[in-house]
Amino acid sequence: MFTITKEFHFSASHELKHLSEDHPCYRLHGHNYVVEVVLQSETLNSVGFVRDYRELSPLKTYIDERLDHRHLNDVLGDDGVTAEQIARLLFQWCKARWPETIAVRVSETPKTWAEYRES
């Protein structure tokens, strides 16, 4: 099995209003997000790739246009702004374009990651 991963970055703010007011994530705050998309295939294409990394550039465009330097509550709604939910959103977007997509990981801090993959 062959696996490739490509990393993307964006900065955005959000508020987790469903948490208690004393939780630090309840308040308006921001992150420098890191997104990893993971693709996997049992075979390689005619030039020896799972998929050419350059073919993944539309994800960068999507992130830049829709998420980067935005308030995610305004873009995704108040119920869709956790790292887990962002990972699922980006997974669905990627899977619709690249069937080899098996997972998307989203980091809000250098020590934390959320991952979405199909079961």
Residue 60, C-beta contacts closer than 8 angstroms, at least 6 positions apart? 8
Catalytically annotated residue among 23, 55, 69, 84: 69
94 given a catalytic annotation = no
108 given a catalytic annotation = yes
Catalytically annotated residue among 15, 25, 36, 115: 25
Alpha helices for the chain (secondary structure H)? 57-66, 72-76, 83-97
25 given a catalytic annotation = yes
Q: Which are the catalytic amino acids?
A: 25, 69, 108
